Structure 1
Amino acid sequence: MYKKGSVLVLSILMIFGLVMSGCAGKGSESKVKVGEVTRSVFYAPQYVAIEKGFFKEEGLDVELQTTFGGDKTMTALLSGGIDIALVGSETSIYVYQQGAEDPVINFAQLTQTDGTFLMARDQEKEFNWDMLKGSVFLGQRKGGMPQMAGEFTLRSKGIDPQQDLDLIQNIDFANIASAFASGTGEYVQLFEPQASIFEREGKGKVVASFGVESGHLPYTVFMAKQSYMGKNKDTVQKFTNALYKAQQWVGSHTAEEIADAILPYFKDTDRDIIISSVKRYQDQGTYAADPILDDGEWNNLLNVMDQAGELKERIAPDTIVDNSFADAATQKK
């Protein structure tokens, strides 16, 4: 009886140990709350990092939410509603310009060009930039990267956005596409996959790419408050490692393979539209090959913001950019 009792106790302890070790394994994952400024094929490497398990491999449990707009995303970050934001670098500059005691630091770049395309309602005429003069242009939010990069491009084509266009900017980001679909504007700036969807539906034609025309920019970047990064260096490093794995995966796979990986995030969109969108971004080099934000891109961003009248002073990149995590991720064997 003693031996049987001992075996029973030992068995119970072993089972308990296995259960606890399983719980410990789950508990060992660090939870990270991420807010993306919008849901877009533009952010394909982020979804790949989740779907291919690259965050899990690094011991991270990423909770993704869409925060719809740069201002709302930054509010969520500053208030602690999210740990990491995926948003345009200009938002970190705005926070810095306001004299924040706990500045927001850019640590991993996701996209390196503007992600919008110029869509014309009239699909018959052969496009040239002068056709925009005098037209009704459905733009983006003042001070946001899509609008600033768009204006930067227009000026380079000899067009004054404020004088030469009937510029509409009072429509919320989430409603711009539906406004164009309902008849507002002769031209509009749209992200993918909306641009491809409208082309298929015959609502317009993509005639130019603001990503190609405005050059390389730290357009969409993962960032966090300085205080969070100071307390969670290991988590930030693991996050950046996972992102780099995803960037390498995207760089070595076809548009079809990438589309299949990210389809769960676009359940209401046809696969061929996702493929078309991914290919469009691939062809113009939108997806950054690594998470490093270089000085040339940063200075181009400052030029874009300066032209838009949104920059109080030029800010050296190392003031609110920390490439140490990206450098470590790319050097990891």
Structure 2
Amino acid sequence: MKKWAVWLCSLLLLLPLVACGNDADQKEKTLTKVRLAEVTRSIFYAPQYVALAKGFFEEEGLDVELTTTWGGDKTMTTLLSGGADIALVGSETSIYVYAQGTNDPVINFAQLTQTDGTFLVSRKKIDNFTWEMLKGSTFLGQRKGGMPQMVGEFVLKQHGIDPHQDLKLIQNVDFANIANAFASGTGDFVQLFEPTASIFEQEGKGYIIASFGTESGRVPYTTYMAKQSYMNKNKDIIEKFTRAIYKAQQWVESHSTAEIAKVIQPYFEDTELDIIETVVDRYKSQGSYATDPILDEEEWNNLQNIMDEAGELPKRIDLDTLVDSSFAKKVMND
């Protein structure tokens, strides 16, 4: 075979590889980067990790860069300072920001969870629990002004317990250290998120005896939000982001807890698969995962009632002022 023929054959063999490489490069270039800050890493946010793991964001042309900012205050600071485009955090934070006065309010545009995500854990096993048992006890709660603590107080009052008079309420322990404080002997009861609650139960350190999510009803507990200025300039990104989340919500709704647990496991490498499955099942069975991204007026009013009951509501704010469900409604009707 002549040299030119050999050269031509080699070139033809290389062309598909080059084309594939160019296609990959082109795909990478066409994805729009979105910086997402989540308030904590939690199985409570399973649909979000499904959206990431199943490629739902990429299908919408988005390259979502996820950062865990550990705490509502830090998450909101990151969003307001331009360190993130979108934040996943409790809706109460948008009310706090608006009440302080701002020309660029933070707008809730898609809901991820629709109940509280904490559980009441007892140090001792209780077969026939009643809320009256908390009277006179030491209760290790969550951070003052945060949604978990406000829901906790709201539920206690619903059961005729004054959290500041009828028990010793501890709420000055940093969020990250609450579980360790209880494990070290602080408190008779503690309010914990999963998977810590289930891990404690598995290890015999505590026992889940009630769900604050079941007791408090539906609230926009964790939502996606962005500054109004960002949303005005990037309506297409907000719509695509919301569509990806809706796909994930529908996927979670239609698949088994075992399938969900397996998909999100890479985001919880230090947690055993059986624990992840237990937690997903617990949240799914009590309706914590929103099945669509719409934040409705009843939920919004319930949120403000809970904040008001805790003495943390700066002022009542209409739904339309801080909630924009137009993107959620659009993707649901597509």
Query: Are 1:297 and 2:299 matched, yes or no?
Result: yes
Mapped pair 1:122 → 2:127: no
Match of 1:227 in 2: 229
Matched residue, 1:46 = 48
Q: Relative to 1, partners in 2 of residues 1:309 and 1:54: Cα closer, same or farther, differing over 3 Å? A: same
Whole-Å separation in 2 of the counterparts to 1:231 and 1:274:
38
- Residue number in structure 2 paired with 1:101: 103
Equivalent position of 1:34 in the other structure: 36
Post-superposition offset of 1:312: 2.3
Native 8 Å contact 2:126 2:209 kept in 1: no
Aligned-residue sequence identity (percent) comes to 66
Cα distance in 2 between the residues matched to 1:215 and 1:325 = 25
Partner of residue 143, structure 2? 141
Q: Displacement of 1:24 after TM fit?
A: 2.7
Query: What secondary structure sits across from 2:165 in the alignment?
Result: coil
What secondary structure sits across from 1:127 in the alignment?
coil
- CA separation in 2, counterparts of 1:296 and 1:15? 56
SS in 1 for 2:173: coil
Match of 2:4 in 1: none
Determine the structure 1 residue equivalent to 2:204: 202
**Residue 164 (structure 1) shift:** 1.0
Contact map agreement 2:91 2:222 (CA 8 A) in 1: yes
Structure 1: which amino acid aligns with 2:113?
T
Distance 1:203 1:298, change over 3 A: same
Secondary structure of the corresponding residue to residue 73 of structure 1? helix
1:126: how far off?
2.5
- Higher mean alpha-carbon deviation, 118-127 vs 105-114, is at 118-127
Partner of 1:268: 270
Correspondence for 2:115: 113
DSSP-derived class of the 2:317 partner: coil
Q: Which amino acid counterpart does residue 205 of structure 2 have in structure 1? A: K
Question: 2-side partners of 1:14 and 1:231: how far apart?
Answer: 39
Listed one character per residue, the Cα deviations across residues 115-153 of structure 1 (whole Å, up to 9, x for unaligned) are 000001011453110111111100001110000011110
Q: What secondary structure is seen at the aligned counterpart in 2 of 1:292?
A: coil
Distance 1:330 1:159 in 2: 42
Aligned residue among 152, 169, 174 for 2:154: 152
* Residues 9, 118 of structure 1: alpha-carbon distance in 2 compared, 3 angstrom cutoff: closer
Deviates more, 1:123-132 or 1:80-89: 123-132
Tell whether the 8 Å contact from 2:112 to 2:224 is kept in structure 1 after alignment: yes
- The two structures, once aligned, show a CA RMSD in angstroms of 2.2
- Once the two structures are superposed, the pairs formed by residues 1-333 of structure 1 within 5 Å of their partners are 20-124=22-126, 126-332=128-334
Cα distance in structure 2, aligned partners of 1:320 and 1:290: 18
Please give the alpha-carbon distance, in whole angstroms, between the structure 2 residues aligned to 1:252 and 1:322: 26
1:241, distance to aligned residue in structure 2 (A): 0.2
SS at match of 1:64: strand
State the alpha-carbon separation in 2 of the partners of residues 257 and 10 from structure 1. 43
CA drift of 1:25 comes to 2.0
1:41 Cα deviation from its structure 2 partner? 0.6
Distance, in Å, in 2 between the alignment partners of 1:216 and 1:235 is 28
- Distance change (3 Å), C-alpha of 1:228 and 1:132: same
Q: How far is 1:101 from its partner? A: 1.3
Structure 2 spans left out of the alignment, 5+ residues: 1-6
Give the match's secondary structure for 2:198.
Answer: helix
Structure 1 length normalisation: TM-score?
0.94
Q: CA distance change for structure 1 residues 125 and 19 in 2, over 3 Å: closer, same or farther?
A: closer
Please give the per-residue CA displacement for 1:75-96, whole angstroms capped at 9, x wherever unaligned.
0000111111100000000000
Question: SS of 1:328's equivalent?
Answer: helix
For residue 70 of structure 1, report the CA deviation from its aligned partner.
Answer: 0.3
